[in-house]
Amino acid sequence: MDERLVHIKEKLEIEGYRLTNQRIEIMKFFLSHKGHYKPEQIYQQLKRKEISIATVYRIIDLFIKFDFIQEVTIGADRYYELKIFSKKIVHGHFSCTNCNKIIDIDDKTVKTMAFSMISHTERDQEIAIDQISIVMQGLCDECKRLF
């Protein structure tokens, strides 16, 4: 078995989950398809392999819980892509144009949006992105009261 699958299996089993055929098929799908896919697209590829759309959704939730994959949203569409084995870096900062204070933006939502931006742009421009740096400027909490 693919060593990456062995790794997945171990991770799952530590918490009492099993690596079933359906989970193997979905993980193999992600391992062999770069990019981001909707649940329906994954289902279409795998349905001849004894899998239902409800299971696709449930396995996606599980894989997200284990950080094997991540959700990227483009517009209001939800896609999923492999996260484990990937080492993309997100830097986020805010700088106040009045007092010059710098705030580190490190929250999960911004990170998720950054990954969405990366996924979209990689597909759109046919490039490979491994870092994103986001700098926002404006007025901080305190300074915005003065204007």
Residues that bind DNA (CB under 7 A): 12, 16-18, 20-23, 38-40, 50-55, 57-59, 61, 76, 78
CB atoms within 10 A of CB 109: 8
Q: Based on CB atoms, which residue is closest to a second copy, 19 or 62?
A: 62
130 binds a second copy (CB under 8 A): yes
Residue 64 binds: one of a second copy, DNA, none (C-beta under 5 to 8 A by kind): none
For the CB of residue 7, give the shortest distance to DNA in the complex, in Å.
15
The packing angle between helices 53-65 and 21-32, to 10°, is 70
Site for a second copy (CB under 8 A): which residue of 17, 57, 66, 94? 94
Site for a second copy (CB under 8 A): which residue of 3, 87, 124, 146? 124
Nearest residue to 119 via CA among 88, 92, 91 = 88
Do 79 and 119 contact (CB within 8 A), yes or no? yes
Dist CA 55 CA 39 (whole Å):
10
* Region for 93 from its dihedrals, namely left if φ exceeds 0, alpha if ψ lies in -120 to 50, beta otherwise: beta
Q: Based on CB atoms, which residue is closest to a second copy, 16 or 75?
A: 75
At 102, list the tokens.
């710098």
Interface with a second copy (CB under 8 A): 71, 73-76, 78, 94, 96, 103, 105, 107, 109-110, 112-114, 116-118, 120-122, 124-141, 144
